[in-house]
Amino acid sequence: MGVESSNDVQGADHLLHRLYEIQLKYGYISKEVMLCLSKELQLPITQVEGVVDFYSFFYRTPRGRYHLLFSHCTSCGDLSLMQRCCEVVGISAGETRSDGLVSIDSTSCIGMCDQGPALLINQLPIVNLDDARIDQLVLLMEQQTPICDWPSDWFTVQEKVCRAGLLLHDTLEVGAGLRAALRQGREALLQSITDSGLRGRGGAGFSAGMKWRFCREAVGEAHYVICNADEGEPGTFKDRMLLREHADTLFEGMTIGGYVIGAEKGFLYLRGEYRYLLSHLQQCLVMRRQQGLLGSSILGEAFNFDIEIVVGAGAYICGEESALIESLEQKRGVPRVRPPFPVTSGYLGQPTIVNNVETLVAATHIALHGGAWFAAHGTASSKGSKILSISGDCARPGVYEYDFGLTIAQMLEDCGATDTQAVQIGGPSGRLIAAKSFDRTIAFDDLATGGSMMIYGGQRNMLNVVQNFAHFFAHESCGFCTPCRVGTQLMKNGVDKIATGHGTAYDMDELKRLSSMVKRRSHCGLGQTAPNPILNAMESFPEAFIGVLTHHEYEPYFDLDRSLNEARRLTGRDDAEAHLS
Amino acid sequence: MNRSITVIEIDGQAVPFDEGQTIMDAAMAAGIYIPHLCHKPGLTPHGSCKLCTVDVDGRSVSSCTMPAVNGMKVSNNTPALMEVRKSITQMLFVEGNHLCPSCEKTGDCTLQAVAYHLGMLDGHYPQFYPKRAVDASHPEILLDRDRCILCALCVRAGREVDGKEIFAITGRGIDATLSIHSESGLLGDSDLSVDDLAAHICPVGAILIKDEGYEVPIGRRTFDLHCIAEPGLEPVILRKGDHTDA
């Protein structure tokens, strides 16, 4: 049957990697190139096109030799800087200048929230942007200075661990966790992981011990370990720090997982925004192979395991584990129907564990120190510690590690946040918490979170925050199911209508009804959480909406002046005479 | 061997099922209609249109993909679920360009029939008016993407029944689109033949056979004579008006 190919593909020949190379070389991916590639890789042309059109970092039309993507995140984004850049360069966002030198656009959060505003230039992050840096940057581009000759400190991503706890207060000796694991043997180790009470750190909180046991017991031709390093939730960057500072501990956790479930192969799925970490991670893998910690007969035991890194290309949905697996299989990142779950039918239909970076780092520590050591920390339902990414309106943004059970108030005090009106716990897909609830705690049975903590001070317009998130989800919906594909667009339009002063009380009711439906009826976690910011904000900050409503009973969506946008664009006019009002 | 009977409950009615059947399979076998658009018995369930959404013990699931489990209590024909399905149908209408009075498929269109069944009187949501390409390159088959609802029935029919790679869904989010597996991207250059199931399975007027427009007059078409909820209608729908109704 001519079904989509799902061969196990090695490194460089992975469709995502080949497309990245082509994008880098030509600045775009032409139909001709796609046809050649589809023949060479023996994939249907529709699969190649499908992937090109699905991932944000692939383009069908030429981008500039300098391609700038400004983060559109409430913590590491500032689109007024993009606007300034566009004006100086002389193009609009989304365009490529006619001389092919530069193109500018916005992108979803790039994970630099503790050192924003930030952008990606040709996939490299530039942090701590301000007007002066934008002006310098434009000058360097106009002079066609190669990026490698730009000031190196612009590209230096600082890893600020502001508070180290259980896992971060020491760096483990390379190989120590793995040696301890092999000494214990599979069954004892699995028992230790289970006893530790370790639950998934991505936010869903499934027991790591149970996941590993289900996978180990599942029958298959091969088993696989996947590390989900597609840290795409706006406001989170703790995995970036772990990947940079604790890569050995992470790879060791993957190896331990492979040892327990009987896998010989592991994948690290790295988000495209973190491509700048790739060489560091590859180097770390090379070292581990040389030290006998990866490859055949690891540490002299009858255990073979190796790790491959696959880099994404700009798709938040690939953080959903089954979409991630689809992406590994060189397809569009569309979440699968479940059941079956990855533990029985994952990568190539084989038993697979998918774990968060932080979970795997914790597993290495548990292998070394034991389950009881871990379980002695945290609360009854939530053992151990949680690493938080704290950003937004506070004096000391950065990575903070706490035992589970801390209050939001404590966290705010520690990071120097004063006059806080709200915290977005767990990013846009999480929960918006207002000041009256700051006594609530970080724990699976209270506020479960993947670790994104976006702080909003008193001066913030919460409606604009909600608007930002509504645009984010509409942009990131994969389009598979009707409620999310259409619903995220309708929610975006509804919030925009209210935020631009055209909303009525009827529109607010409509938005609420729609949001509830999308939340309950969508296929996967994206659609099921996309309405959260709207619903939470309507409940906690109703005045942000009500204050800007018009007092008509009904105001149509149709806006005569806006409908002339296309005509204005085509004629190049934007003067007063070209507007109705 | 003495096999114990496995049963689920749909709106209080006991419905037997065999191991491996989904809620939809069991309902269809029992003559219970659960609205659906992307599902067709015999093809791998897709679970994307979400019209077959039911509540199982308070949880929302797609009945076409959810395996039946003994003792499951399923809510199907409730006012709340009919309202949800109506909203989903309205979403499908407004995201495309569905102009029933001028569409050749009218009366034979499952989307239209479902809309009538659910009591849909308008699109409710603002129209998106997308710009989508028409492909008339095939001598015998027309592709009008304005009416495509991305149900992927043609994709699966091609792969699973016709044994051909013809259609695929590409793009992301609201830009998801039905693409053709051919060098030019045109239907005329694909392997699609007028005898393929993929050419006939479209539930809406996106894939039409040329030269047979209006062979069955309006007023005598499938859903002029039948309600979508009638049991055993699937083969009639696939034959498109070619039925002995008198």
**Beta strand B6-10 with B73-75: parallel, antiparallel or unpaired?**
parallel
> Does B142 fall in a domain?
yes
Average per-residue pLDDT for chain A: 95
- Find, among A454, A483, A470, the residue nearest to A530 by Cα: A470
Residue A556: what pLDDT? 87
Closest chain A residue to B163 measured between Cα atoms?
Answer: A1
pLDDT tens digits, A494-523: 999 999 999 999 999 999 999 999 999 999
Domain count, chain B: 2
B44 and B102 together in one domain: no
User: Using CA atoms, how far apart are residues A388 and A401, in angstroms rounded to an integer?
Assistant: 6
Residue A2 has pLDDT above 90, yes or no: no
B71 and B127 together in one domain: no
Residue B246 has pLDDT above 70, yes or no: no
Contact B175 A475 (CB under 8 A): no
Q: Containing H/E element for B225?
A: helix B222-225
B62 and B157 together in one domain: no
Residue of B2 and A581 predicted with greater confidence: A581
> Does B20 fall in a domain?
yes
Region B64-90 average pLDDT? 97
- Reduce the DSSP state of residue A561 to 3 states and report it: coil
Helices and strands, number each (H, E), in chain B: 6, 10
Among A44, A482, A521, select the one facing B60 at the smallest CB separation: A521
Among B88, B128, B180, select the one facing A482 at the smallest CB separation: B88
Region A103-130 average pLDDT? 97
Contact A474 B45 (CB under 8 A): no
Which residues on neighbouring strands pair with residue A308, listed in sequence order?
A: A267
Query: Residue A336 — pLDDT band, cuts 50, 70, 90?
Result: very high
Tokens linked to B106: 């009218």
> Does B106 fall in a domain?
yes
Residue A551: what pLDDT? 84
B126 and B52 together in one domain: no
Tokens linked to A65: 């030799």
Query: Residue A122 — pLDDT band, cuts 50, 70, 90?
Result: very high
B140 and B193 together in one domain: yes
Residue A6 has pLDDT above 50, yes or no: no
Contact A477 B50 (CB under 8 A): no
Closest chain B residue to A557 measured between Cα atoms?
Answer: B126
B101 and B68 together in one domain: no
pLDDT tens digits, A217-244: 999 999 999 999 999 999 999 999 999 9
Nearest-Cα distance to chain B for A555, in Å, is 12
pTM (whole model) above 0.90: yes
Query: Residue A198 — pLDDT band, cuts 50, 70, 90?
Result: very high
Non-local (6+) Cβ contacts of A155 within 8 A are A124, A125, A126, A127, A276
From residue A316, give the alpha-carbon distance in Å to each of A105, A108, A332: 17, 8, 12
> Does B112 fall in a domain?
yes
Which residue in the block uniquely carries the two structure tokens 């502001």?
A162
Residue A4 has pLDDT above 50, yes or no: no
Q: How many inter-chain contacts (A to B, CB under 8 Å) are there? A: 126
- Find, among A545, A546, A544, A516, the residue nearest to A531 by Cα: A516
- Helix spans in B96-140 (H): 110-117
Low-confidence winner among A45-54, A130-139, B39-48, B211-220 (lowest mean pLDDT): B211-220
- Find, among B159, B154, B85, the residue nearest to B117 by Cα: B85
B70 and B168 together in one domain: no
Residue B241 has pLDDT above 90, yes or no: no
Query: Residue A11 — pLDDT band, cuts 50, 70, 90?
Result: confident
Region A394-400 average pLDDT? 97
Quickly count: other Cβ atoms within 10 Å of residue A510's Cβ: 17
Tokens linked to A213: 């046991």
pLDDT over 90, % of chain B:
89
Nearest-Cα distance to chain B for A277, in Å, is 27
B167 and B200 together in one domain: yes
Tokens linked to B103: 């569409």
Non-local (6+) Cβ contacts of A118 within 8 A are A71, A76, A77, A110, A112, A125, A126, A127, A128, A129
> Does B13 fall in a domain?
yes
Domain with B113, as residue range(s), is 97-225
Residue B188, domain CATH: 3.30.70.20
> Does B90 fall in a domain?
no
Closest chain B residue to A50 measured between Cα atoms?
Answer: B170
**B244, burial (CB in 10 Å: exposed 0-12, middle 13-18, buried 19+):** exposed
User: Using CA atoms, how far apart are residues B107 and B222, in angstroms rounded to an integer?
Assistant: 6
pLDDT tens digits, A302-312: 999 999 999 99
Q: Does A475 touch chain B (CB under 8 A)?
A: yes
Q: Does A53 touch chain B (CB under 8 A)?
A: yes
Contact A485 B174 (CB under 8 A): yes
Quickly count: other Cβ atoms within 10 Å of residue B186's Cβ: 15
> Does B234 fall in a domain?
no
Chain A residues whose beta carbon lies within 8 Å of the beta carbon of residue B67: 339
Among A35, A477, A482, select the one facing B49 at the smallest CB separation: A482
Contact A1 B163 (CB under 8 A): yes
> Does B88 fall in a domain?
no
- Helix spans in A291-393 (H): 321-328, 357-369, 371-375
B37 and B156 together in one domain: no
pLDDT over 70, % of chain A:
98
Contact A521 B50 (CB under 8 A): yes
Low-confidence winner among A174-183, A456-465, B215-224 (lowest mean pLDDT): B215-224
Q: What does DSSP assign to residue A557?
A: S
B71 and B101 together in one domain: no
Helix axes A247-261, A278-290, angle to 10 degrees: 60
B23 and B113 together in one domain: no
Choose, out of A32, A480, A557, the residue to mutate when testing the contact with B (most B CBs < 10 Å).
Answer: A480
Query: Residue B242 — pLDDT band, cuts 50, 70, 90?
Result: low
Residue A1: what pLDDT? 32
Peptide bond into A117 cis (omega under 30): yes
Query: Residue A379 — pLDDT band, cuts 50, 70, 90?
Result: very high
pLDDT tens digits, A42-76: 999 999 999 999 999 999 999 999 999 999 999 99
B28 and B104 together in one domain: no
Region A18-40 average pLDDT? 97
Of B48, B77, B106, the domain-final residue: B77
Region A104-108 average pLDDT? 98
Residue B43, domain CATH: 3.10.20.740
Residue of A6 and A77 predicted with greater confidence: A77
